[in-house]
Chains A and B, each alone.
Chain A
């Protein structure tokens, strides 16, 4: 059962990733991207990590894919992209990607990951949270400060002084 689900999820994820790259319509491309991200959430579910899976859905499908969709809808494709139809480049890109993927896969398989067998229960998300607060708190605080700095910077950049229009106030 798990193997079948894994195969189906792989087909969905890789297929929609390819579709996201190859679709002529940008909207359909971003929908395919959503499918790809949702497939990754499915992988996390399969790995007994529902917490990560649901956060994958909340953050990637619910927020980031929506932002991409929103941006794509406000953009006219013809104005920013020039079509360069070049078969040789396309095949070269596919070949390069295949070489990279095969070599990374070979490294993974060679690293002894296949021989690992474990019967340990899935890691509880409470333990992850406790680890974050107890052992990794400097990293957490650093991350929080960086994020706060980014948000403040974005707010400062986006700040706009409203021009008072006399006719409206009258």
Chain B
């Protein structure tokens, strides 16, 4: 048996611990406490629940954790929380990361392999974390004749654009980062930025394979944007709004996929092309052009582009759910919170734990509707993502001319059929204001 640290001494270990504690205390006294005072002096802090939010409340919260509840409640209603945690970036990154793992396991099962297995005790669940650590620790190599500013900026811009896309998606009633009236147009505007970033990244690498991949990505994305926009016009016609939250709320009785199945199918196909997934993964065709426009990206730059593309996948799947599958609507399966917990507290064993101030938290922010909507939204999105990654195990890659032919002739024709169906439904008085349903 090998010895990990042959020079290990217990006294040395304890000394290092004491050293650490000494330095933490010294730095806290010399830097931390003055920093708290500077914050108190400079920044006007909000008053929450009749109490000024000061850093010293952290010490009080150590003694009595329920004093944190009003602060948590106030934080949950801020825009920062929405942007960074729940309907925004954090939630989307969590889903995207689980999609990467699920995709690898699923591909393995389809192809009768094992897939990620060793990292982590159960079925390789920690594989993704290991991959992330590897990418962070790898050196970023930039080609000698690359155009450095654009090459550095492209991955960051890619993630930023994908995050802007995520910001437009309503997850539960009232839970959306940017609730604008022209949400769907905003989606179109954001989608238009992806080909620019792709081609700039590909060009700036100054290498043959990325450039070929970038050109392919450009014409694929630009030509599939047209059927994408046209296929969604049917939904806009029957709902009469461009606001994604209103579109989602309008499907409380039935999802639009029942009335507009052609639009849904066309949108799904264009979605596969915009996401560069098999069978339309020509821009990254690994058996033809190394890795396409990702060839020269290394280390965390590659990681960022991967993160951005999976965020984009989540956003597209969520958009499909919002437009065609009814968004957050679904049967109420989340049970109502028992009032007893809020008023009387929880009785456990010999003691009764009373939590005060839980009422506003459960009535305003984390409501039953919000939990139920999120549950249905996540379930539907997971289903759509499953169907997005399923073709990867089944289909071969299509040829370039077949792809363009499909996009420019068949899909656009189907889009117009879909628009005429929607117009017919509206003018026949089936849907819309004063309609039958």
A and B, one complex?
Answer: yes
Question: Interface on A for B, CB 8 Å cutoff?
Answer: 27, 31, 34, 50-51, 54-55, 57-58, 61-63, 65-66, 69-70, 73
**Does B188 sit at the interface, judged by CB under 8 A?**
yes
Chain B interface size, under 10 / 10 to 19 / 20 to 34 / 35 or more? 20 to 34
Chain A neighbourhood of B188, CB < 8 A: 54, 58, 62
| A164 CB to nearest chain B CB (Å) | 15
- 8 A–B contacts, CB within 8 A, in A order: A31-B200, A50-B181, A54-B185, A62-B189, A62-B193, A62-B195, A66-B222, A70-B215
**Does B89 sit at the interface, judged by CB under 8 A?**
no
What's the Cα separation between A143 and B210 when bound, in Å? Answer: 40
Q: A50-B182, A54-B189, A70-B218 are in contact. Are A62 and B203 (CB under 8 A)?
A: no
Determine the residue in chain B with the shortest Cβ distance to A69. B199
Which residues in window 166-188 of B have CB below 8 A to A?
180-182, 185-186, 188
What's the Cα separation between A73 and B225 when bound, in Å? Answer: 21
Determine the residue in chain A with the shortest Cβ distance to B186. A54
Chain B neighbourhood of A63, CB < 8 A: 192, 222, 225
**Does B196 sit at the interface, judged by CB under 8 A?**
yes
Verify B196–A66 contact, CB threshold 8 A. Answer: yes
Q: A27-B203, A57-B189, A73-B203 are in contact. Are A51 and B196 (CB under 8 A)?
A: no
Determine the residue in chain A with the shortest Cβ distance to B192. A62
Verify A66–B185 contact, CB threshold 8 A. Answer: no
Interchain CB contact (< 8 A) of B182 among A27, A51, A70: A51
What's the Cα separation between A37 and B234 when bound, in Å? Answer: 29
What's the Cα separation between A57 and B182 when bound, in Å? Answer: 13
Determine the residue in chain A with the shortest Cβ distance to B211. A73
Interface string of B138-153 (1 = CB under 8 A from A): 0000000001001000
| B384 CB to nearest chain A CB (Å) | 24
Verify B199–A57 contact, CB threshold 8 A. Answer: no
| A31 CB to nearest chain B CB (Å) | 7
What's the Cα separation between A55 and B196 when bound, in Å? Answer: 17
Verify A66–B203 contact, CB threshold 8 A. Answer: no
Interface string of B279-292 (1 = CB under 8 A from A): 00000000000000
Which residues in window 183-234 of B have CB below 8 A to A?
185-186, 188-189, 191-193, 195-196, 199-200, 203, 211, 215, 218-219, 222, 225
Interchain CB contact (< 8 A) of B185 among A27, A58, A65, A69: A58
Closest 6 CB pairs of A and B: A62-B192, A57-B189, A54-B185, A54-B189, A58-B188, A58-B189
What's the Cα separation between A73 and B215 when bound, in Å? Answer: 9
Verify B203–A61 contact, CB threshold 8 A. Answer: no
Chain B neighbourhood of A61, CB < 8 A: 189, 192-193, 196
Question: Interface on B for A, CB 8 Å cutoff?
Answer: 147, 150, 180-182, 185-186, 188-189, 191-193, 195-196, 199-200, 203, 211, 215, 218-219, 222, 225
Determine the residue in chain B with the shortest Cβ distance to A155. B408
| B165 CB to nearest chain A CB (Å) | 13
Chain A neighbourhood of B219, CB < 8 A: 70
What's the Cα separation between A55 and B229 when bound, in Å? Answer: 12
Chain B neighbourhood of A31, CB < 8 A: 150, 200
Chain A neighbourhood of B218, CB < 8 A: 66, 70
| B225 CB to nearest chain A CB (Å) | 7
Q: A54-B188, A58-B192, A62-B192 are in contact. Are A70 and B200 (CB under 8 A)?
A: no
Chain B neighbourhood of A55, CB < 8 A: 185
Chain B neighbourhood of A27, CB < 8 A: 147, 150, 200, 203
Determine the residue in chain B with the shortest Cβ distance to A50. B182
Chain B neighbourhood of A62, CB < 8 A: 188-189, 191-193, 195-196, 225
What's the Cα separation between A169 and B188 when bound, in Å? Answer: 42
Looking at B147, B192, B218, B225, which has the most chain A CB atoms within 10 Å of its CB? B192
Chain B neighbourhood of A57, CB < 8 A: 189, 192
Chain B neighbourhood of A66, CB < 8 A: 192, 195-196, 199, 218, 222
What's the Cα separation between A140 and B366 when bound, in Å? Answer: 49
Q: Given contact pairs A66-B218, A69-B200, enumerate 4 new A-B contacts (beta carbons under 8 Å).
A: A31-B200, A58-B185, A61-B193, A62-B225
Verify A50–B189 contact, CB threshold 8 A. Answer: no
Q: A50-B182, A54-B185 are in contact. Are A70 and B192 (CB under 8 A)?
A: no
What's the Cα separation between A50 and B203 when bound, in Å? Answer: 32
What's the Cα separation between A54 and B222 when bound, in Å? Answer: 17
Q: A58-B192, A62-B225, A63-B222 are in contact. Are A70 and B186 (CB under 8 A)?
A: no
What's the Cα separation between A69 and B198 when bound, in Å? Answer: 12
| A95 CB to nearest chain B CB (Å) | 33
What's the Cα separation between A102 and B364 when bound, in Å? Answer: 57
Chain B neighbourhood of A65, CB < 8 A: 196
| A6 CB to nearest chain B CB (Å) | 21
Chain B neighbourhood of A73, CB < 8 A: 199, 203, 211, 215
What's the Cα separation between A73 and B210 when bound, in Å? Answer: 13
Determine the residue in chain B with the shortest Cβ distance to A65. B196
Determine the residue in chain B with the shortest Cβ distance to A34. B196
What's the Cα separation between A69 and B217 when bound, in Å? Answer: 14
Chain B neighbourhood of A54, CB < 8 A: 182, 185-186, 188-189
Chain A neighbourhood of B215, CB < 8 A: 70, 73
Determine the residue in chain A with the shortest Cβ distance to B225. A62
Chain A neighbourhood of B196, CB < 8 A: 34, 61-62, 65-66, 69
| A93 CB to nearest chain B CB (Å) | 29
What's the Cα separation between A131 and B191 when bound, in Å? Answer: 29
| A147 CB to nearest chain B CB (Å) | 13
| A39 CB to nearest chain B CB (Å) | 15
